[in-house]
A and B are shown apart, each in its own frame.
Chain A
Amino acid sequence: MTSPSLLRDKILPIGTVVLAIIAIWYLAAVYLNAPFERDQAERAGTEISFSEILPRTMAQERPVLPAPHQVFTELWETTVEKKITSKRSLIYHSWITLSSTLLGFAMGTVLGVALAVGIVHFQTLDRSLMPWIITSQTIPILAIAPMIIVVLNAVGISGLLPKATISMYLSFFPIAVGMTKGLRSPEVMHLDLMRTYSASASQTFWKLRLPAAVPFLVTSMKVAISIALVGAIVGELPTGAVAGLGARLLAGSYYGQTVQIWSALLMAAALAGILVSLVDIIGARVNRRMGVKPA
């Protein structure tokens, strides 16, 4: 029953869209890289036909837009064929970024949950803090990233923690908001039931509010972990960091290494995808253990 509809509703449409994107990518690569080849031919004083241009646009050293297979070759060379400890290995750089993402995400989750618990239990905190939490998100937080890094560097804290701080700052918001909503999600009837049991505030929290909030928490965590990754990458930009995906982007931009930029970009994309689906899988498992029925 499930397999034909899975094919019809998921694999076929998504596959078509992905194929279309790759096709457009190839066409764009030809279109954008062709002027360079024509220019080269003109300088050499020769005419060049389109059938000659075509293969060359696919294999330029520093293309305007690298063809997909160039990027994937680069990805393969820098992940599988290099030693993990090598500074040229993309896995090494990914790990640098990943470690600060995860640390920041963990700190952001703790902070977000703590804030949500405070907001739900203290009315004053709710009404004074909540508007500021929302305002804090209209600030382009990433703008503060370079300063946090440099300032913490001046105090002698460098490496993992400053980047993780930025990831934390970015990821605490969706968690605080989602968790607040979740902790408030139990219905009045259930809360009244707890009162008839003469449950204490902490009992109501642990037995009713917290379990009710878990599905909301999982959804927020999926949003939070992907922006934590963005924070870690941007955190690597301003100090001219030597390692990490952000550093790869910056170095590639300095030296015009487009293939390197694109492969770092795709690596970051893959990393984000893996992290989000990991959170999703763990969350789904927790939800199932807690008896949440799939919608």
Chain B
Amino acid sequence: MNGPFLTAILFWLAAWAVNVWLARLKPKNPSVTRLINVIIPVLFGAALIALWEGVTRGFNVPSVLLPAPSMIWGRILSSAHILWADFQQTYLKAVIAGYVMGCGIGFITAILVDRSPFLRKGVIPVGNLVAALPIVGVAPIMVMWFGFDWQSKAAVVVVMTFFPMLVNTVAGLAATGSMERDLMRTYAATRWQTLFKLRLPAAMPFIFNALKINSTLALIGAIVAEFFGTPIVGMGFRISTEVGRMNVDMVWATIFVAALAGSLSYGLIALAERAVTFWHPSYRRRAGA
């Protein structure tokens, strides 16, 4: 057997043993519990990376097939400026603009639709259907309409994020119980007061669900749209050209950036959700424990 692979296997086994031991611990102190909950997945991830490194080195896997993590990391460091330019083009311009517009328009449409029960009955099934369709496919059309630059990518993102937002917000606005609504009526609250004081807060968990779904959808939409034509910058462009030139480590570096961006934006939204919907049972219970 070869050295790197054996070392990786040993590391994997050791990490696994530590994890089994950690998972069995039942510490009294809640902050220790939290620490253990972080350590376990981190150790698992580290073991995975070690195994990856061991396999690629031990078996001399050609880097065209699967570059070693260390190689990818080296590439990230050496071409940080390219990655940053791509990130700016794809994420800071297209994704954020499209995300804000798509979610905003979806939200406003939902509030308009909500006023009519008839429209609500019609929009929800159609919206659900459209949300399940392969909307990424509109990418070539948008590139044709809005040109090669980031605007067309933002347009794809708008179309992709609109329907999840619409469906979730409409469902969320309908989520209040009749008792609370009757209470608002006894207060002689106006329609807008009821909307802002009761129904929008109640809809927040649904809205945040849509925001979370959309945060990944937006990035996917922008990257896939870049496969259909783009200026010579952008994450989707980088992936498709570097694959063609067999620079697989560069592709992985881009994927790493994308993963980081996706995870960070998801995490930010989750934090905002916790701050806004602190009253929701799923958080209340955790705070009490």
Using CB atoms and an 8 Å cutoff, list the residues of chain A in contact with chain B: 9-10, 12-18, 21, 64, 123-124, 127-132, 135, 137-144, 146-147, 150-151, 154-155, 222-223, 226, 229-230, 233-234, 237-238, 245, 249-250, 252-253, 256, 258, 261-262, 264-265, 268-269, 272-273, 276
CB-based contact B240/A140 at 8 Å: no
Question: Do B254 and A64 have beta carbons less than 8 Å apart?
Answer: no
How does the 8 Å CB contact mask read for B219-249 relative to A, with 1 for contact and 0 for none?
Answer: 1100110011100000110011001101010
A-contact bits for B141-184, CB 8 A (1 contact / 0 none): 10111000000000000000000000000000000000000000
Evaluate contact between B223 and A139: CB separation under 8 angstroms. Answer: no
Instruction: Say whether A258 contacts B144, CB under 8 Å.
Output: yes
Residue B41 CB within 8 A of the other chain:
yes
A140 and B258 within 8 A (CB): yes
A127 contacts B140, C-beta separation under 8 Å = no
| A222 / chain B contacts, CB cutoff of 8 Å | 132
What chain A residues lie within 8 Å of B263 (beta carbons)? 135, 138-139
Q: Find chain A residues with CB under 8 A from B139 CB.
A: 249
B74 within 8 A of A: no
B121 interface hit (Cβ, 8 Å): yes
> Interface on chain A toward B: helix, strand, loop, or mixed SS?
helix
Q: In this assembly, does B37 line the interface, its C-beta being within 8 Å of a C-beta of chain A?
A: yes
Beta-carbon nearest neighbor of B48 in chain A = A132
Q: Report yes or no: B136 in contact with A234, Cβ–Cβ below 8 A.
A: yes
**A258 x B19 contact (CB < 8 A):** no
A124–B265 Cα gap in the complex (Å)?
A: 28
Give Cα distance in the complex from A268 to B138, angstroms. 11
**Which residues of chain B are near A144, meaning CB under 8 Å?**
255
Most B CB within 10 A of own CB, among A9, A64, A142, A233: A142
Residues of B within 8 A of A238 (CB): 227, 240, 243
Residue of A nearest to B15 (CB): A128
Please, which residues of chain B bring their CB within 8 A of the CB of A138?
215-216, 259, 262-263, 265-266
Question: Is B112 engaged at the interface, CB distance under 8 Å to the other chain?
Answer: no
Contact of B187 with A by CB under 8 A: no
Q: Taking the nearest CB of chain B, how far is it from the CB of A24, in angstroms?
A: 13
Establish whether residues A258 and B37, one from each chain, have CB atoms under 8 Å apart when the complex forms.
Answer: no
Q: Which residues from chain B contact A17 at a C-beta distance below 8 Å?
A: 119, 122-123, 126
Within 3-49 of B, Cβ neighbours of A (below 8 Å) are at 16, 19-20, 23-24, 37, 40-41, 43-45, 48
Q: Does B77 contact A (CB under 8 A)?
A: no
Nearest Cβ on chain B to A96's Cβ, whole angstroms: 15
- A10 and B251 contact, CB distance less than 8 A: no
Q: Are A143 and B254 in contact (CB under 8 A)?
A: yes
Partner of A142, one of B43, B144, B224: B224
Q: Check B118 against A268 for contact (C-beta < 8 Å).
A: no
Instruction: Tell me whether A147 and B248 are in contact (CB under 8 A).
Output: yes
B interface vs A, CB < 8 Å?
16, 19-20, 23-24, 37, 40-41, 43-45, 48, 64-66, 118-123, 125-126, 129-130, 132-134, 136-141, 143-145, 215-216, 219-220, 223-224, 227-229, 235-236, 239-240, 243-244, 246, 248, 251-252, 254-255, 258-259, 262-263, 265-266
- The 9 lowest CB-CB distance pairs between A and B, nearest first, are A13-B122, A253-B140, A128-B44, A17-B122, A13-B121, A131-B41, A139-B259, A138-B262, A226-B132
In chain B, what residue has the closest Cβ to A148? Answer: B243
Provide the residues of chain A in CB contact with B137, threshold 8 Å. Answer: 233, 245, 249, 261, 264-265, 268
Which residue of chain B is the closest to A265 with respect to CB atoms? Answer: B137
With a cutoff of 8 Å between Cβ atoms, the chain B residues found around residue A14 in the complex are 121-122, 125-126
State in angstroms the CA–CA spacing of A140 and B133 once bound together: 18
Give chain B residues whose Cβ lies under 8 Å from the Cβ of A123: 23-24
Measured CB to CB, the closest approach of chain B to A160, in angstroms, equals 19
Most buried by A among B43, B120, B227, B246: B227
Q: Which residue of A lies closest to B229 (CB)?
A: A253
Whole-angstrom distance between the alpha carbons of A18 and B125 in the complex? 10
| Residues in B neighbouring A131, C-beta threshold 8 A | 41
Question: Residue B262 contacts which of A139, A150, A256 (CB distance < 8 angstroms)?
Answer: A139
Q: Which residues of A contact B219 (CB under 8 A)?
A: 140, 143
Q: Which chain B residues lie closer than 8 Å to A141 at the CB level? A: 220
The answer to whether A137 and B133 touch across the interface, beta carbons within 8 angstroms, is no
Instruction: Report if A18-B126 is in contact (Cβ < 8 Å); known contacts: A124-B20, A154-B64, A253-B140.
Output: yes
Q: Chain A contacts of B244 at CB under 8 A?
A: 150
Q: Is the CB of A250 within 8 A of B140?
A: yes
A265–B121 alpha-carbon span in the complex (Å): 26
Docked Cα-Cα span, A129 to B215, in Å, equals 22
B199 to chain A, nearest CB (A): 21
List 15 interface pairs A-B (beta carbons < 8 Å), by A numbering.
A17-B126, A18-B126, A64-B145, A123-B23, A138-B216, A138-B262, A138-B265, A146-B239, A146-B251, A226-B134, A230-B134, A258-B141, A265-B138, A265-B141, A273-B129
